[in-house]
Chain A
Amino acid sequence: EAGVAQSPRYKIIEKRQSVAFWCNPISGHATLYWYQQILGQGPKLLIQFQNNGVVDDSQLPKDRFSAERLKGVDSTLKIQPAKLEDSAVYLCASSLSSGAQETQYFGPGTRLLVL
């Protein structure tokens, strides 16, 4: 079974530029998550999708971050404009459903450096 795919793996941009990340979840997984992991910290949820609908985006900085999952499969996360403090690893994860017992499977992450 293929895992969660993410691209690119690394990205370096200057502040005020825009950037987009792509995620392809495990086939059949209805729930998709985007996390931000700042160096030395645990992952922080940015947004959770159930199929193509947003379940939780309470911690997404909506003035600069946006995400979509138009067909309920792939998802993109965009930052526009980027700030220095956005430097982090952006993790995508998926699970079969949003049940408490469901395991989340994580992709390798996209490491973003904002200069």
Chain B
Amino acid sequence: GNSVTQMEGPVTLSEEAFLTINCTYTATGYPSLFWYVQYPGEGLQLLLKATKADDKGSNKGFEATYRKETTSFHLEKGSVQVSDSAVYFCALRLTGNQFYFGTGTSLTVIP
């Protein structure tokens, strides 16, 4: 079946620290991969995406590389800010099929 596994949180970092949130997936086919972010009290927003192997998605200083050999799509940011505090969801999608979301990783960045 299709599924997404994210590292469990919560994650607490100091401002300017390096962030990695692990995401691995299982899929029957060739999925597109996404990271969504949910700020407190708001809906999900697309952060970045990659549609094929070795693609790198990037946005707002965040990056993730589609690694087919390790079935991973880890989210990274070199220097986090307080405003990055949110819940991050990894997701995959196959053509014509639904999105499969991970359970989310809560990030809190402290000054």
Contact = CB atoms under 8 A, between A and B. Distances in A.
Q: Are A and B part of the same complex?
A: yes
Contact of A99 (B42, B95, B103): B95
A105 B36 CA distance: 10
Interface string B66-101: 000000000000000000000001010111111101
Given A42-B89, A56-B98, A109 B51 contact: no
Interface in A50-91: 55-56, 91
A52 to B, nearest CB: 17
B14 interface: no
Interface residues of A, number: 25
A49 to B, nearest CB: 12
A45 B99 contact: yes
B40 interface: no
Interface in A15-34: 33
Interface in A101-115: 101-109
Contacts of B26: none
A104 B32 CA distance: 12
Contacts of A48: 98
B89 A103 contact: no
Contacts of B46: 103-105
